[in-house]
Every structure is written in structure tokens, then in C-alpha cells.
Amino acid sequence: MQAAPVDAAALRPWQAPVRPASSTVDFAALARQLRQAQRPLLLAGHGVRLSGAADALQALAHEAGLPCVFTWNALDLLPHEDPLNIGRPGVVATRAANFAVQNCDLLICVGARLDPVVTAYNRAEFGRHAQKIVVDIDAHELDDKTDLPEATRLALDAGDFLQGLRGALGPAPLAVDAWRARCLRWKLDHPLHPQGSFADAGPISHAHFVDALSEATPADTLVATGSSGLAVEFLYAGFRNKPGQRLFLTSGLGSMGYGLPAAIGACLGQGRSPMIAVESDGSLQLNVQELATLATQALPICLFVMNNGGYASIRNTQRNYFQGRYLASGPDSGLRLPDLAALARTYGLPCVTIADSHALAAALSGAMALPRPCLVDLQLVPDETLQPKCAAIPLAEGGMVSMPLEDMSPLLSLEALEAEMLTPLSPRSRQARGAPC
Ligand SMILES: Cc1ncc(C[n+]2csc(CCOP(=O)(O)OP(=O)(O)O)c2C)c(N)n1
Ligand SMILES: [Mg+2]
């Protein structure tokens, strides 16, 4: 088949999909709905970036004073420090973002397909007390969301929607000061790691590395990352992005091996300016030959490898669900990964190993200053679990209950959770704690 002759003239030409028209949308009514809301929230996804509407999103958020949450793919649309950035909701998330989603009364989803990792496998109860406006350029995606019967669905380009809404809303900010303050309070009260929670010396925790990397990475830096595994979850849960930084992973596919070739492509695509890449040790091996491309092309990439001794996420699964019967997930169970310093030498790359949390910040600055390309072997605690997380809780009477988005594990006390919520608790929160529903 590959060698068969092709008559190009006889081929059916490709038709670009027609961009949905925004002229039929009643933006004035949407703006009124937004002004009437007492607790509005915008969830922005990668569609915003794809439509070239990053600036439009920032303009709308800032003019209106509209709190926002983001999917992983879109986390760089507002810097972490921006008081309107309340975080990234989902199964692996900060509590603040999930509280904001579950307490808002109007949820505007733009360019986010509301996938299970964002909605904690329960789209019907995502923003369960909110009116919803869901904007997706792909009408099929909207048709598919039969579990959002009440939502206003708009098959529209994200940029057209944001511009249209901004125009109709006008420059006056929304009168939602108390809600804005509440969202910010959640963000400040529930950081992923309270100040001073990292060890001064000894093995480096994943979270400590991610925290230190956030500090060490300059504004306006491009950060290519791996796409699956525990290390990547820690990275996307905890990275505090600065202004102008871009972070990206695969959109929807968690394929190991992605990080290094993605970084090479990104570096070439942005004119070879200096950037960093963060990859995990298992994933690196699936495209390890690209270290040769990195070296040959002399690309200015500082490659951080989060080295937790193999497949930490798989070990966690084997420990939690298979009584610790480890198989092919680490050095003691048949998975042997090479020494990264030796590997870097083989490919002719400068390498530094960082293995102790003492003076981690200084060590990372030193690594950033290495001649690039270079490889940084970050030796991390091999067996960690990521918290908080939306989990399923075993019940005393047997069976399991999947916890609602706002009720992450480790569970807060019922009183603490009630104090955070502006809307009624889910019966499942009481059930999981053995309290009367
Ligand atoms: C190509 C491919 N094979 C298998 C998987 C399933 N998988 C998900 S994470 C993981 C282990 C990843 O190890 P590593 O990259 O070191 O990340 P860690 O969990 O250790 O942080 C595996 C095997 C996958 N995502 N992609
Ligand atoms: Mg690993």
C-alpha cells in the first residue's frame, strides 16, 4: 500500500471545519447573568490558548475581577501569585480550587472539556450548586455531556466567547468583593505545603523539589514536562508559575517518553532560547536516545530528571491495591534504570546530582547555571504519596464511597469542612465519616 501510486488530483480535498458563528449568541443576556451571580467562577482550559485568547482571558478576569481556576494544560494563563488565580481543580488539586468550584453559583467553563480528572469522575456534581455555561468549539463534545442537562452549552470559539462577553459586560468590575475575598482566603489557608514543612536536610521530597523549582525558574521561561506518573502529578499540583512562563504536557494522553522529545521540539520551535524540561526517570527511558539529539543540536535545555528509583506511581498502586506485591516497578522488583550521571557522560552532557534537601535552592541555582544542554539528576524520596487527593473511602459497613470534589483526603473534620462550605455538604461527606446524613 505504501508503494501504491496516488493520483493527487483525484483525492478529496481537506475541508477546514467551519468556525461556529458567535453572532447568534446573546452576550448581553450572558453578561446580565454574570452580573447577577453572587459567586461566579471561570474555569479556563487549553481551548483558550488554542484560540489565541490568553490575553482576552486575562483582560476579562482583571476588568471584571472574576476569580478563575485552570486545567493543567491551561495553568499558565494567569500567574500563580495573581489573586484571581485560585488554582487547578480536580482529583489531584489544591483544596482551594475545589472549594471554589463547589461553592460558586455560576460556573463558566471555557475551552475545558470537563474530563474525569478535573471533575473527579463526577461531572454531574461538578459545581453542583452552580448554573453552568459551557463553551466548547466542538459541538460533539457538548452533545456528549448529557450529564449536564441544565447547562447553557455554546459551540463557540473560546476567544470569540471571551471577547463577546467582555464587550457586553463593560469595564465595571463585578460587585462580588466578598466572594473574591473568600476565594483568596481558601488559596492562602490551604497551600499545598505550609511554610516550613520541608526537611532542612536528608532525602528530598517531591513537593520540596517542586517548590524549590518554582522559586528557581525565572519568569518568561518555557517549561516542557513529562506527562504521566507520580512526579508529574506533584509537579502539576504544586508548581507556582510566574508571569510569562509557559508550561505544557500532552493534552489528554499520559504517554511515558513524552518529556524529552517535547522539550527538543519546543526549544527548536521557540528559536532555541534557553528553557527547562522536567522529566521523570522512568519516562525518560522510553525516548532516552533523544539525549543524543539534545547533545548534537546543542540545545539550551536544562533537563531536570525527577529520579524516584523507577515507577513510583506503579509501586503505589501495587502497595495500595495488591498487598505490596511489587513487580517490575523498582530496583527490587526487576526494573533497573541506569545511573543518570553515567548516562549523561555517555551522551557528553554536563550533569549534576542533587540528593540532599540541605541547600536545595542553592543547588538548583547552580544547576540552572550549568552550560546547556545539561542533565540534573534529582534524587527524590522513592515512596511518597500525593496529598490531598480526591479518594474513594471504605465504609465501616463495607463498600466504598467516592468522595465529592470538595472533600479531599486526608479528610478534614466535618466541622472544618462545614466551616469552609457556603453550600450544603454532600451526604457522602457525612456517610464517609459515619455521621448521620
Ligand atoms: C507508554 C506508557 N506505558 C505505560 C504507562 C503507564 N504508566 C503510567 S505512569 C508509569 C510509571 C512512570 O514512571 P516514572 O516516569 O518514573 O514516573 P513516577 O511515577 O516514578 O513519578 C507507567 C508505567 C504510560 N503512561 N505510558
Ligand atoms: Mg520514577
SS3 301: strand
User: What's the confidence (pLDDT) of residue 192?
Assistant: 87
Query: Is 255 near ligand 1, meaning CB less than 6 Å away?
Result: yes
Convert the pLDDT of each residue in 416-426 to its tens digit. 999 999 999 99
pLDDT digits (tens, 9 = 90+) for 255-308: 999 999 999 999 999 999 999 999 999 999 999 999 999 999 999 999 999 999
> Who has greater pLDDT, 437 or 171?
171
Count of beta carbons in the 10 Å neighbourhood of residue 150: 7
pLDDT at 97: 98
> Is the CB of 212 within 6 Å of ligand 1?
no
Amino acid, res. 38: Q
Q: In a mutational test of the pocket of ligand 1, which residue from 205, 255, 256, 377 has the highest number of ligand atoms less than 8 Å from its CB? A: 256
Q: Which pLDDT value is given to residue 251?
A: 74
pLDDT class for 437, splitting at 50, 70, 90?
Answer: confident
Closest residue by Cα to atom 16, ligand 1, is 282
Q: Is the CB of 247 inside a 6 Å radius of any atom of ligand 1? A: no
CA distance 407 to 420: 10
Tell me if 311 CB under 6 Å of ligand 1: yes
As a whole number of angstroms, the distance between CA 170 and CA 399 comes to 52
Closest ligand 1 atom, CA of 255? 26
Spacing, Cα 191 to ligand 2 middle (Å): 25
Show the CA angle centred on residue 256, arms to residues 404 and 240, nearest 5°.
Answer: 55
Q: What is the pLDDT of residues 202-216, one digit of tens each?
A: 999 999 999 999 999
The reply to whether ligand 1 has any atom less than 6 angstroms from the CB of 405 is no
Omega before 171 cis (within 30°)? Answer: no
Contact 47, 112 (CB under 8 A): yes
CA–CA dist 306, 419 (Å, integer): 37
CA distance 281 to 379: 10
- pLDDT tens column, 94-138: 999 999 999 999 999 999 999 999 999 999 999 999 999 999 999
Average of per-residue pLDDT values in the chain: 95
pLDDT at 395 over 90: no
* Cβ of 283 below 6 Å from ligand 1: yes
Tally: H helices and E strands in the chain: 18, 13
What domains lie within the chain, and their CATH numbers? 27-189 (3.40.50.1220), 206-379 (3.40.50.970), 394-432 (no CATH)
